[in-house]
Amino acid sequence: MKHLFFLFLLPAFVAAQDGGISFTEQPFDALLAQAKAEDKLIFIDAYTTWCGPCKMMTAKVFPDSAVGAVYNERFINAKFDMEKGEGPGLAARYDVAAYPTYLFVNGDGNLVHKGLGYIPKPALLELADVAVSDRSLGALEARFDAGERDPEFLQNFAMALTNAMDESRADRVVSEYLTGQEDWSTPANLQLLLASPGGIGDPRMDYLIEHAAEIEAALGAGSATSTIQRALVNTYHREHRKRSLVAPDNIREYYETEAGPLWQQLHSSYALMYYERKGDMKHYLPLAMDHYSRYPSEDYTELNGVAWAFFENSDDPAQLAKAVEWAERSVELHPYYPNLDTLAWLYHKTGQQEKAEAAAHRAIEYAKADDLDYSDTQKIFQ
């Protein structure tokens, strides 16, 4: 008790945010003691110095007065760099694998709730409400541990876990939930399957492989194949103790055996990934031309990525013309700064300066809206 009393007497430095969230700088043990004494949760912004969304939260959302009013009243607020000091230990303790992550921890050190990524003001206020409600992860887990197995509850709990990237617990709950479902093809069940597909050979993964076309028709191009691809790559490298991608020829038989009717498409996609990471554009560029002619993509981020690769690495007129098509389609599907910038530079490289400047103007408007650096895009006008 003497040590506990001493902790209460330690002066806590509070970083004011001009009406926003006030973050206190204390050791984690001191935060726990304060949380227990005040019967409050600790809100932890788990960040890294290189994380762009972390910087945007600090610049745009945390200083908001309405956010500050709620968080300063309900929580003890703290920030920890997950790569320094106590950060790595906290990251391991609370399974922090993406940044930013927001942890709500009680005075006993138990995780009560969790959030991830860039969260706008309304959603961050909603997160605060959920953290202190019966919808929090801690409350849902207590009901699960007490034996509640109502299908609607299991679905809500499983989705909450997948949204929090708690993969191991989500896998257990999703598996139990879907075992009791006769129809896996409902949109809600398909979302759960994609979020927690199990490993190769799991009934969930078998269903995804068998019904990939129907799933992507319902939920969007690439939704099933990208999930299956991740599982294939992760399983192969774990079972063969490989720390880096292996040559496409060496993994071909594995795809033929495990990927069913999707093996050619997924093996081709794997080869693209392999050569891109190797920086082997001699193999990557012609393979990409062939792959996307046989397996057209409707994923705007994928199209933008391959278009930019051709901008950076090709001077072939036919290849650049195809890259322009990919970039234009990406913008049609979902315009945002990265793909508009790609399109502008491809127009510029192919001698279409008027189109280049028009796309660059649009790109800059999107960049301004998201407070992004657009200085490179401005070079198109020089």
Catalytic residue among 30, 51, 56, 127: 51
| Contact between 167 and 181 (Cβ < 8 Å) | no
Neighbours of 158 (CB within 10 A): 27
Q: Please give the backbone phi and psi of residue 13, each rounded to the nearest 5 degrees, phi first.
A: -80, 125
Q: 375 burial class (0-12, 13-18, 19+ CB within 10 angstroms)?
A: exposed
Query: 114 pairs with which residues across the strands?
Result: 103
Q: Which residues contact 242 (CB under 8 A, 6 or more apart)?
A: 236
**51 among known catalytic residues:** yes
Name the DSSP class of 261: G
Distance (Å, rounded) from C-alpha 249 to C-alpha 256?
A: 11
Distance (Å, rounded) from C-alpha 119 to C-alpha 122?
A: 8
Q: HSE-up of 226 (CA within 13 Å, CB side)?
A: 13
| Dihedral angle, C-alpha 181, 185, 186, 192, nearest 10 ° | 70
Residue type, 40: K
Catalytic residue among 32, 44, 54, 57: 54
Name the DSSP class of 110: -
Distance (Å, rounded) from C-alpha 346 to C-alpha 268?
A: 25
Q: Find where tokens 């294939």 sit.
A: 232
Residue spans of alpha helices (H) in 146-299 = 151-163, 167-179, 187-195, 203-210, 212-219, 223-239, 248-258, 263-278, 281-294
| Contact between 295 and 265 (Cβ < 8 Å) | yes
Residues known to be catalytic: 51, 54
